[in-house]
Amino acid sequence: MTNKSAFEVTVATYPPLAGEMHAVVLENGRPSNNVIRTDQNWSVRVDWKLEGALVPCIAGNWCVTLFLESIGRGREFSFPLPHQEQIRVPLDPCGNGEYTYDIQVPAHTIRDSDCSTPYKAVVALTYLDPCDRPGPMAGFCELPILQFYTDKKQAGH
């Protein structure tokens, strides 16, 4: 005959796991005014953190994606681009729970056709468990509307 015994988990703080994220559009490493030249590289810096007693128990990867949705007619984008690898940031259970990643957007990826279509930008942060399966953690950060233009003087027109 087998005796049953209770198995207990004690979590010292409440909530046991919480997080937050922030994102900012950068040009030349500085915050953008959200009007971006098409012939310049730009990026989105994403900062996020986990807090709570369960942080050392969480392993796997973060998946980071930038989505640009046109307002009206226009192309749709997600970064990394389809031919690039997904952005995966390993969780560090022994770390301080803080993470940063810069999503790079190459110059000339977005054009200023169609009267400079504005774009709504959203960063998605999703969790993949150690078996590479989507898990129950995610964060989303909406950025300001972005406008793109070509500087005709710089472009030689």
Domains of the chain (ranges; CATH) run 18-155 (2.70.50.60)
Residue listed under structure tokens 């953008």: 32
107, 38 Cβ separation under 8 angstroms = yes
Which secondary-structure segment (H or E) carries 43? strand 42-51
pLDDT tens-digit profile of 66-76? 999 999 888 89
pLDDT tens-digit profile of 96-111? 999 999 999 999 998 8
Look up the pTM and report it.
0.86
